[in-house]
Amino acid sequence: MALYAIGDPHLSLGTDKPMDVFGGVWKGYVDKLLAGFQRVGEEDTVVLCGDLSWGMSLEQAREDFAFLDALPGRRKLLLKGNHDYWWTTAAKMDRFFQENGFKTLEILHNNCALYGDVALCGTRGWFYEEDQQGHNEKVFKRELIRLEASLKAGGEREKLCFLHYPPLYQGYRCPEIIALLERYGVKSCYYGHLHGGSHRLAVEGRQGSVEYHLVSADYLDFTPRRVLD
């Protein structure tokens, strides 16, 4: 049994927005994901750090969920990304997964999941791009509340945190999120969102008391990163 993480698969099997149009590493990315997931065992857990499907609704994203559900792994924990427009309430998503027979998909949102004695915590997070038309204090505070609720749910267990947005990279820090990670004793934080040339800005390694790692699919060559045995 092992724990993996990967973000930003940007699937478009039920819509017409494939990432292949960008060429480069994205050419044939669905096949690359299929190949990359072959390292995942049937009893393993994978955290998917947002930007999962270009579908605008659960129905439009159905084929993408079916693809994810069929990949190796007993559990796939789904985080919200900034392009996951299909995202709705946890109750509606859980019901949709049940009605469609998707047995491996779970929502990580306002809660935590357990991997043995380790608490897997997370939320979408926050990013400066959202401030282009003025800081949206309400949305930002809501993300902080969600993150803290997830961390609290982990109790006294060892904690790993998964975000879509990076809490820091070269020239940028979100001090409020970093403070929560450090206050609740998070061991490592895994994040996505950064693509292409932005990879060079990523923080890899320890900053303060937390280890940070980028897990965007194109950064990992579409192969999930092993986090724990």
pLDDT tens track of the chain, all 229 residues?
999 999 999 999 999 888 877 788 999 999 999 999 999 999 999 999 999 999 999 999 999 999 999 999 999 999 999 999 999 999 999 999 999 999 999 999 999 999 999 999 999 998 765 555 555 778 888 999 999 999 999 999 999 999 999 999 998 899 999 999 999 999 999 999 999 999 999 999 999 999 999 999 999 999 999 999 9
Decide: helix, strand or coil at residue 228. strand
- Residue ranges covered by each domain of the chain: 3-228
Model's pTM, two decimal places?
Answer: 0.95
d(CA 12, CA 28): 12
CATH domain 3-228 topology:
Purple Acid Phosphatase; chain A, domain 2 (3.60.21)
Tokens for 81, please give them.
């990304």
220 closest CA partner among 24, 33, 81, 72: 33
Percent helix, strand and coil across the chain, each to the nearest 5: 30, 25, 45
